[in-house]
Structures are given as structure tokens and as C-alpha cells.
Amino acid sequence: MAPLTLAPAKPVSSGEIGMIDPNRADEVDRRHQQITEFLSSARYDALLLTQPHNFSWITAGGEGTRPGSNEMVAAAFLTPDARVILTGSVDSGHLFDQVVNGLGFQLKERPWHEDRGVLLEDLCRGRKVASDSGMFVTDNFEPHLVRFRVPLSEFDWPELRSLGRHVTHAVEATARTFRQGETEAEVAGQLAHRLLKHEVTPVRLQVMADGQGHRYRHWGFGSDRIERTCVISAVGRRKGLHIGATRTVTFGQPTKTIADTHHLAAIVQTTGMFFSQVGWTVSDTWARVARIYEKFGAPDGWRQAEQAEGIGYAVEEFPFVPESRSRLRTGTPIFWHPSVRTAAMGDTILVRDEGFELLTPAENWPELTIDVKGAQIRRPSILIRESATDWPDQ
């Protein structure tokens, strides 16, 4: 039998390597300087980042996961003088050609068949190291690292706006086109398809048929068929950033109960967004939201599910809870998603000095107007589609 020979692999052409973004490189330098100041003040030699949200933050939008999966294949090791990517030999080429090209990172790699943890442990040995995981006897500083990620710098804002448009489009287009009688899972597949077309990773998908959300506020999707109403919600990630949006559709005219609860959810959400103001604490904003529930005869309505959370490089940067003294600053994204019985609203805003900026504006969707302190604010209404069957008021 003749021996099998393989020609040597050709080098990657310049056209296959991503262009260097000088603005991104400057942003990475700035973030590294923040870490350097932290290490000096806390008297640490280095910081080890293994969590995906922190890797994306320090690389200003890089993903440390293997393409097409959520499997982390890289870590970042930062000292005052260097920033190093730690990975295996199979993934280093992709990372340095496509993810951190031109950003000033050095490479330390292990063969794919060796434990990558050994490489991380070797770098930590003999040093005083902080981390986002506490591994290898490092000090876990993860709860404190949110102050670096939030608020987002202005560098992130254009990508956040673009991501918001694509997530909203995916949710609304799915709601406009799926067929009555399809299952929640079938509709979730259509939603995921639309997100992936724009390189948006589906992080959380919810398709709730015919009041499913009243029973299970965190319902994802299942085999139930959609006959009357459907709430569709998605949180998507791209370049490390997250955005969420929610819309509601009915086949045939909604019942008075559904219309009224949707309107109340819209009032709650709009109140929360309007009073998400620079300098306010979370508890200050929360008090305005709680007052709406009381005004409409549901003082404990907010206890049924989360109302909002800070969002960004992590899908939940900080919780929106009644007693939180966290202070809102310009550049803080918040995903407001209150639910009232079967109704749910969901949109992401960016806290700005001049007032909130809506990151998930309706694209081709009916709207209603909510008045808050004299401001007329347009919000998504219920999309009414033609129904194959009539169903009675409830």
C-alpha cells in the first residue's frame, strides 16, 4: 500500500485576517490601564479572567468561545506590563486572526491534548493574583468587576444600537409571519434562525402560547400549539454585548382582559424607563414602579417576577431590586421586562444624561401612547393578526 502524504498547509491569506480597528485598540489600552490601576491599589501582581463576559470586556467585544458554541477556550491574564491570551493550539489561530488581531495581546498556548488548566496554574504560581473565578487559590474579585463593565463606554454604544435593531427585527418578524397552530418550539426555531442570520447568538428565547407566561414567568418554549395569543421574547448576544426585546401577538381581536393587562404592563414599563435617570438609585426608580402597581390595585404584582436588570457584557450585570442603592450612570443599559398576569413587555434602554435612549424601537409594529409626567411616550401595542377561528371574550 502506498503511503499517504499530505501537502503542507498553506499560510492564511491576508484577506482572511480581520482588519485592525485603531479605535478598538485604543479602547483595549484604556481598559488595560483601568486594570493596572486596580492591581496597583489592591496590591496584586495580575488579574486572571476566565468568564466570557470579562473576556469580552477586556478585548472590547471579542468572544473567547469556540465558534458555534458556548464553550470557553481562552482566558486573559493581565499584569501592569502585559496582556496575555491563554488557550490551546487548536484555537489560537482563530483567536489571533479574528478575535484579538492587532490589540496588543501576547499568546501562551498548550497543545490541545494537554490540560489548559496547567497553563493557567503555572502563570499564577508565585504571584499574588486576583481572578473572576477564585481558581488556583486566586482571590475572587468577580463581584467587584462589574464596576469596570458598567456603565458601558461610548465605544460600545454603536454596537449596542445595531444589536438592538437586529434583536427587535427578529422578534417582530417572527411574530408577523408564524402560522396559527404552530408549536412554541417551531416558532422559537424561526426566531433563532433570524438572530443567527445576523450573527446574533440566542441567549434566552421565550415563546409563550395562550397565557403560558401567567403560569410560568420564566417559560422558554415547548410543544403547546399557539391558537390565540403569543408573547415572544429574545435576549441576543453579539461581540459580547446583550440586548433583550419582547412583543405580543393575537389571532383575532384580543379580549378586554388581555388588552387591559397589556396596557398596565406598558404603563409599568414606561414608568420604569422614564425614571431610569442619571444619579437616581435603583430603589428611587423602583419606588415609582411600585406606585403604579398600587395605583392599579395590584400592590404585590411586582413580586411575581423580575421587572428589570442591568444588562451589558453580562446578561445580568446587576439586579433591579427594591432596596438596591446602586446609582444609575450615563451609559448603563437596562432591560425592562415587567409582566402582569398573561401580559409582558420587554425593551432595552440606555441611560443618558438627557433621558433614556430606546435601543429596541419598534420597526413595523402597532403602538400605543403612555403619558408620564406630561411626556407622550410611544410603546409597542398588541399586533392583531387574522384568525382562522373565532374565540369568545373572557
- Model confidence at 257: pLDDT above 60: yes
User: Do 14-149 and 154-385 come out as alike in CATH topology?
Assistant: no
- Model confidence at 391: pLDDT above 70: no
pLDDT at 5: 56
- Per-residue pLDDT tens for 350-370? 999 999 999 999 998 999 999
Average pLDDT over residues 108-137: 91
pLDDT at 394: 43
Does domain 154-385 bear CATH number 3.40.50.970? no
- Per-residue pLDDT tens for 243-253? 999 999 999 99
Place of cell 401595542: 381
DSSP code per residue over 318-342: EE--TT--PBP-TT-EEEE--EETT
Q: Bridge partners of 333?
A: 350
For the record, the C-alpha cell of 110 comes out as: 498548550
Q: Which CATH class is domain 14-149?
A: alpha beta
Ordered by start, the domain boundaries in the chain are 14-149, 154-385
What residues contact residue 316 under an 8 Å CB cut-off, 6+ apart? 309, 310
